[in-house]
Amino acid sequence: MMKKIPSSAPPGVTRLQFATLASQLDAAVLLEDGDRRVHLVNQPWCDWFNLAGAPDAHVGRDSALLEAAAAPLFGDADAFLKTTAACRSASALVSGISLNLRDGPALELDYVPIRDGDSWKGHLWIYRDVTARRDAQRQGAASERALKQLVDHLTHELRSPLSALLGATALLRTNATTREASRVLDILTASSSAIRFILEEAAARSQTGAAALPLLAEPTSLRALLEEVDAIHSSHAQAKGLTLRLMLDTSPADRVVVDRGRFRQVVGNLVSNGIRYTREGFVEVFARARPAGSDTVAVTIRVRDTGCGVRESDIPRLFDAYWRGHPGHEGFGLGLHLCSRVVAAMGGEIRLLASSPGGSIFEVLLSIPVAPPEASPPAPAPEATFLVGKWVLVVEDDRSMLRLLSYLLEEAGAFPLACESAAQARAAVRQTRPDLVIADISLRDGDGLSLMSVLRAGGLVAPVVMLSAHEARFDEEISSIGRAWRLTKPIDRDTLFLALEQALRS
């Protein structure tokens, strides 16, 4: 009769059955008895640890000798021997100990003590090759770092031209003389604001991770938000020969507290999808808001199109990330997924209400707090008389932004010293001592922080306003300059002048 292995295998399992199981595992297995004699070893153990002969030839040998012979194969032989000794001393199940062989492979060790009361019955050692998993994790981490660097670079490079676009649009708005010009400027402003929101979200998620989905609620008008969506997408619809309809029934409860950017993002994505998948006809946005208590508004948004519809087989995956029901169309399959995440974060519901070959209807249901009564409109920004006659050093390597800043300063009566590089700035300061400095942190021939340190060492005492694409990242370094403030791009005229006034009067 076949001898059983007491306590080292489940009841009724013979040594042959246990050996068969070990031989089929994609792992190196060594079973010792209570005296540390080899009771069973499989072929992967022999292969990985250069053990000559068939596995059965080593049964009965002192496993300490096998362990000592294997130790030089590990990257740190002493650490390997100390690890196995610690496992035996602890006399407790241990799983997932990371070990590295000298020639590169990565292993994970599981240790199972086999006892019968106070009596040792044996030790079970299982080594798994996890090299592929380790390499995949390293590659994933490297890809994540590369993606983060790309996002940081893109958000930085786009903030300066976006600031110039916002500033130029604001200047044109003050001189708009026709309704058509005002309408075009409204579209530019709404589109720029949407791009600004995307940039800020990308920068925030680059720092906090993809799981982060913060909400920044503020009082606003539902009608105004939906009209912005209409303004942004109307030209796209017209280019395709489509009609974009906006049907609003929000007057009973129009003022709410909501994240403007994310609300616009949800409705905008639904409208954009409707336009993308509709060849002829229309895309319609219907919105209704009704009081749902003393401090809450029930909001219903429906986006209807006359497009190709959603196939029934596609509905279960409709809100999955990176999934597209129509692979031939542009896009990454993220729009509806993002909509579902945002609506869920707002405590609402999004669903496909109806679909057929003649079109689809998506519905968003939200419960939103009522906004407090609207305060009096803010007084117009005072004229920037504090800048009259002041020499202002402007260091910005984006030419559009440099021109805009110079124009704004000239309009306010200042004398801008426009410089595209740190070298030009150093030369300008040798000729004229500025009353105020505006400098971008990132320059093509260095960085604004180092430039300011050099200028301070040379005797510059003027206050400094640093322009940064990254909120709070350089605050400690900026503070060390002395009499220095930070503005995060993109910026507008009023924000800029408030910061300049604060800096000059500090």
Band (120; pLDDT cuts 50, 70, 90): low
Supply the pLDDT for residue 216. 80
User: 401 exposed, middle or buried (CB, 10 Å; 0-12, 13-18, 19+)?
Assistant: buried
**pLDDT tens column, 183-234:** 677 777 777 767 766 666 666 555 545 555 677 888 999 998 999 888 888 8
CB atoms within 10 A of CB 343: 21
Supply the pLDDT for residue 215. 79
pLDDT > 70 fraction of the chain, expressed in percent and rounded = 81
Domain 213-372 class? Answer: alpha beta
User: 150 exposed, middle or buried (CB, 10 Å; 0-12, 13-18, 19+)?
Assistant: exposed
CB atoms within 10 A of CB 370: 18
> How do strand 349-356 and strand 359-369 relate by DSSP bridges?
antiparallel
329: its two tokens? 């169309």
CB atoms within 10 A of CB 247: 12
Superfamily of domain 385-504: Response regulator (3.40.50.2300)
Residue 233: partners with Cβ closer than 8 Å, 6 or more residues away? 244, 268, 271, 272, 275
Angle between helices 77-90 and 63-70 (to 10 degrees): 150
Sign of CA dihedral 60, 62, 65, 67: positive
Size (the chain), residues = 506
**Cβ atoms of residues 14 and 2 within 8 Å:** yes
**pLDDT tens column, 135-191:** 888 888 888 777 777 776 676 667 667 777 767 777 676 666 777 777 677 777 777
Region 358-368: mean pLDDT is: 95
Kindly list the domain boundaries of the chain, sorted by start residue. Answer: 15-129, 213-372, 385-504
Band (411; pLDDT cuts 50, 70, 90): confident
Report the CATH fold assignment for 15-129.
Beta-Lactamase (3.30.450)
Supply the pLDDT for residue 6. 38
Q: What is the pTM of this model?
A: 0.53
Residue whose C-alpha is closest to residue 335's, from 350, 313, 347, 355 = 350
CA distance 350 to 324: 18
